[in-house]
Chain A
Amino acid sequence: MPFKKTPQKFSAAIKAVEIGTGDKKTVLGGEGVMPLYSFDGPIENAPKVGVEIVDTGLEGEAKGIQEFYAGCTTPAEMAAKAATMEGADFIALRLESADPNGANASVEDCVATAKAVSEATDLPLVIMGCKNNEKDAQLFDKCSEALAGKNILVLAAKEENYKGVAAAAGLAYNQKIGTESAVDINLAKQLNVLVTQMGVKGENVIMNPGTAAAGYGFEYVVSTLERIRLAALGQDDTTLQMPVITPVASETWGVKESMASEEDMPEWGSRDDRGVDMEVATAVAVLAAGSNAVILRHPQSVATVSKLVKELI
């Protein structure tokens, strides 16, 4: 008997959320099919790849990353360089220097960095914080104000600071806001409910339900992403129909496979190769599970993942 193809049809769809402005603006989401299932229905907006830049410099980064940015002395110069990376759809600036337990850079300095980065590239901009909830809320507020009209994405509002982030970035400055939970599907939904109850439109929300590096409890990440997508499409759950973004680099470059030096682990081979492998494996896995965008650091990872997306969609 001949094979009969039965497309899995949903009447619901993921919201299409635009970030950036002008020619380089980009759209996340919009599809009404399971991840990468372009054989079931059209995927008008293929998954996007962003390049992460950290404002504390390149110390400790893998050789391939350092070489790529050779000669760059500021995050703005790095952003201009990153924009030339093959397959880069957006820039993600991580304001690590703001961490009160680290360099504790002032909000004003961080805003100046964000402005300089924004001026150095016409790619859409994602602003990531330093993982200190209180400081991040201030950063997102002031960066949203300084970059008004640029349609940036702030990553992200969490359970602890969503009120401030939604009120400032989402409502006062009309930027896109991320909602972040740490692989907790009920909290992922709850945060979307809370920010939309505050008046932020669902069309202005992108969710980061969390990730892990491949091999580090990753099954739980996959089932969370899939359950979100099935609820959004199969149960028409409007509180979960936001596109998903996954900051991959900040997870994968923190595990031993990517960090251990070649001197310490000669039998593991090139650190660049290991780091890229971890980044690519994790990125591809979250894309297959339901993410609409990944944030990566190594130029080789960006090129590899964007090529894969291009050939699949």
Chain B
Amino acid sequence: MAKFIVIGERISVTAPSINKAFAERDPEPILTRAKQQLDAGATYLDVNIGPAEKDGVDVMKWAVQLLQGEFDNVPLALDTANMAAIEAGISVYNRAKGKPIVNSADAAGRIGYIDLAGANDAICIALCNGEGIAKDNDERMTYLQTLLERGMMAGMEAEDIWFDPLFLVTKGMQDKQMDILEFIKMISDSGLNSTGGLSNNSNGMPKHIRPIMDSAMVAMAMMQGMTSAIVNPNDLRLMETIKSCDVIKNNTLYADSYLEL
């Protein structure tokens, strides 16, 4: 099995400093966060430029070239509601270290992102969700089938669609957590890849609790066969858990210094 793939989530307009950096085309805050995440063990970096309705095309091109230029063609997940911006990003993207990821499609209004990924030979994150939150795993599986078929129609390989079970916040939806984990097993048993915004499970919890919950969740998700997650790689506890699970799963060969690698 391949190593668990960490997609670093910290280059996002939800952080005010990054939002400002995108608006002003200021490289420094973006490069700093990129370096922190890569040093901590991220494989992919997510580039979330937000809705970016006005200047998305320019911002995404700028960000892709900035990050790949500085960090040896680091592979990126392009994350925006502006589809033209994703295509623009891919047009300047270097694939030497991995295909671009389109973030993300769902089985409702954003299903066209699958077509976009297919047309551009990209990986696509496919959220197994329609309108509102799926009521059970049968419904999630229906969305998965819809997305998979759409991907096949678009000429994609199944391995390039990374299914997202949609992690739900534990505070308020505690009774749904095992459903999500069981759904990850269903994805894995179908031989498909998976990813997702795992830290959503700890949303609203005190700051010191979140790394503990996220680590427990990632360990259980990896046990179920999850192959990737969109997380904060600078959460040391989480990264240590992922590396340890990779050893236990025989995804990486153990050495005493494995946490430093």
Residues of chain A at the chain B interface (Cβ within 8 Å): 185-187, 189-190, 193-194, 197, 227-228, 231, 235-237, 239-240
Contact = CB atoms under 8 A, between A and B. Distances in A.
A48 to B, nearest CB: 25
Interface in B211-261: 251-257, 260-261
Given A189-B253, A189-B255, A193-B255, A235 B261 contact: no
A278 B261 CA distance: 39
Given A235-B2, A235-B3, A197 B252 contact: no
20 contacts: A186-B253, A186-B255, A186-B256, A189-B253, A189-B254, A189-B255, A190-B256, A190-B257, A193-B257, A193-B260, A193-B261, A194-B257, A197-B257, A227-B253, A231-B253, A235-B2, A235-B3, A235-B253, A236-B3, A239-B255
Contacts of A237: 252-253
A193 B253 CA distance: 12
Contacts of B253: 185-186, 189, 227-228, 231, 235, 237, 240
Interface string B131-160: 000000000000000000000000000000
A239 B254 contact: no
Interface class of chain A by DSSP: helix
B44 to A, nearest CB: 15
Contacts of B251: 235
A187 B257 CA distance: 10
Nearest to A190: B255
Contacts of A197: 257, 260
A-B pairs, top 6 by smallest CB distance, nearest first, are: A189-B255, A190-B255, A231-B253, A193-B257, A190-B256, A186-B254
Interface class of chain B by DSSP: loop
Interface string B1-19: 0110000000000000000
Contacts of B252: 231, 235, 237
Interface residues of B, number: 11
A193 B256 CA distance: 9
A185 B258 CA distance: 13
A203 B120 CA distance: 36
Nearest to A192: B255
B247 to A, nearest CB: 10
Of A185, A193, A236, most B-chain CB atoms within 10 Å: A193
A98 B251 CA distance: 43
A186 B261 CA distance: 14
Contacts of B260: 193, 197
A193 B254 CA distance: 11
Contacts of B256: 186, 190
A239 to B, nearest CB: 7
Given A187-B255, A190-B256, 17 more contacts: A185-B253, A186-B253, A186-B254, A189-B253, A189-B254, A193-B255, A193-B257, A193-B261, A194-B257, A227-B253, A235-B2, A235-B3, A236-B3, A237-B253, A239-B255, A239-B261, A240-B253
Contacts of A239: 255, 261
Interface in B1-46: 2-3
Of B255, B257, B261, most A-chain CB atoms within 10 Å: B255
A221 B256 CA distance: 21
A65 B2 CA distance: 48
A235 B3 CA distance: 7
A190 B247 CA distance: 14
Contacts of B254: 186, 189
A39 B230 CA distance: 39
A189 B261 CA distance: 11
Nearest to A185: B253
Contacts of B257: 190, 193-194, 197
Nearest to A228: B253
Contacts of A190: 255-257
A237 B261 CA distance: 10
Contacts of B261: 193, 239
B120 to A, nearest CB: 20
Nearest to B3: A235
Contacts of A231: 252-253
Contacts of A227: 253
A185 B255 CA distance: 8
Contacts of A193: 255, 257, 260-261
A96 to B, nearest CB: 31
A197 B260 CA distance: 10
B132 to A, nearest CB: 40
A237 B254 CA distance: 11
A179 to B, nearest CB: 12
A185 B250 CA distance: 13
